Structure 1
Amino acid sequence: MYVPPAFRVEDLGALHETMRAVRLANLVTATPDGLIATPLPLFLSPEEGPFGTLYGHLARANPQWTLAAAGEALALFTGPDAYVTPSWYPSKQEHGKVVPTWNYVAVHAYGPAEFFDDADRLRDVVGRLTDLHERSRSEPWAVADAPDSFVAAQLRGIIGLRLPITRLEGKRKTSQNRTPADQAGVAAGLSASDRAADRALAALMGAQRDGA
């Protein structure tokens, strides 16, 4: 990923925060049959390894796990993104030398993809993913709520993924290369948008400005 210095994110905590906020990542591997990508919900185990370890699962019928990966696998985490119109820049009125752009947040996690079908490990991964996404509900569903025989049959249809992260790239493009006035104009424009992702970026810009 091309990351100019102004947009680079190197703080491990900030990278992990972005990864946790993304509910659906994309797993990409290069195989003898070409590139393969699968959208996957993943969870991060931050204490495993210097950059953490990712876990998830994919369908047993998915050929991605059966094809030997050439080199590293790549997990793509894409945060909020938004179109930025030059009309939001006060500098447009001053000199007119402005163009449209796109603001966004992204983290790329690299590492070897390890696939497994051990039933106990699979149940643990499924349980942890379920708890992660159910915990905000007033009456969260748990894997234990389903009959054991049914769960066992479902586990036979999936393959587990473990991806120990060997390197991380983070990019947060939120108009840092513009003047404070232009940044304020972009934040105001995004805040007034009907799109949730636009408003999320506006909030992120506000947190950066406040030093949060």
Structure 2
Amino acid sequence: MHPDPAFRWPKSGNDHNDADERAALEALIAQIGFGMIFATTPDGPRVAHVPVFSTGDGALQFHLSRGNALTKSLPGMTALCVINGPDAYISPDWYGLDDQVPTWNYLALELDGPVREMEREGLVAFMDDLAEHNEAKLAPKTPWHRDKMDVGKFNKMVDSIVGFEMEIMAWRPTVKFSQNKPAVARDNAADALDAIGRRAVAHMMREFSPK
């Protein structure tokens, strides 16, 4: 499973540039909002599944419970975050081409960098940002805010977690949506995915077609 090396991120205008790609990656983080943090501990490699929030200026924030195996090891360490987008199995029959093999189409983003522990004030601000961002997706629902909670109970829950911020030193997107197939073959496969309810991948196959 290797993406087409000729792939370029979808363009917002006539010319591709790094700002387009960075904006698309930021949008991916904002839309999915959940990732996996990988790091090595004295007891071996570990992974944590966490909600994530991009600050928009090159940092990724997340939190772990105090009892998580990674919590004590992460400060000062370089960690890896993986954010997975939509994925789906692709049957070779869908292309309408001879001599094809089954494959899997997917979108994923890897981020890595050093991690620092956040002060309590920063952790609370991050939690507010995370809730505000995700509550906004539920409109017209009235947004939840921590003002609805008992202050003592909220503080107790904050004390049970640790906030972290990763300085993103590398952005590594992998985009594999049959870009190496003819347009008609891609459309055939996308139509087949639509028919079985895998609409996100079908959309991506059309969106990420070679320009």
Flag whether TM exceeds 0.5 (same fold). Answer: yes
Once residues 209 and 4 of structure 2 are traced to their aligned partners in structure 1, the CA distance between those partners, rounded to angstroms, is: 19
**Match of residue 5 from structure 2:** 5
Q: Provide the TM-score with structure 2 as the length reference.
A: 0.86
> Which residue of 31, 45, 51 corresponds with 1:41?
51
Q: What is residue 128 of structure 2 aligned with on the other side?
A: 127
Decide which moves more: 31-40 or 166-175: 31-40
Residue aligning to 1:55: 61
CA RMSD of aligned residues (A): 2.2
The 5-angstrom pairing of residues 79-90 of structure 1 reads 79-90=85-96
CA displacement at 1:32 relative to structure 2: 2.5
Aligned match of 1:103? 105
C-alpha deviation, 1:2, in angstroms: 6.1
Q: How does 1:1-212 map to 2 (within 5 A)?
A: 4-7=4-7, 11-46=21-56, 48=57, 52-67=58-73, 72-91=78-97, 96-116=98-118, 118-137=119-138, 138-194=141-197, 198-209=198-209
Structure 1: gaps (5+ residues): none
Distance 2:7 2:146 in 1: 40
Counterparts of 1:76 and 1:164, CA distance in 2: 14
Aligned letter for 1:204?
A: M
Secondary structure of 1:112 counterpart: strand
How many pairs align?
A: 199
SS of 1:5's equivalent in the other structure is: coil
Q: AA paired with 1:126?
A: M
d(CA) in 2 for partners of 1:156, 1:58:
11
Cα drift, residue 31 of structure 1 = 2.3
SS in 1 for 2:70: helix
Separation in 2, partners of 1:68, 1:143:
27
Compared CA separation, residues 74 and 174, structure 1 to 2 (3 A): same
Unaligned runs of 5+ in 2: 10-17
| Structure-2 change in CA distance of 1:83 and 1:152 (3 Å) | same
Q: d(CA) in 1 for partners of 2:209 and 2:2?
A: 24
Distance 1:4 1:32, change over 3 A: farther
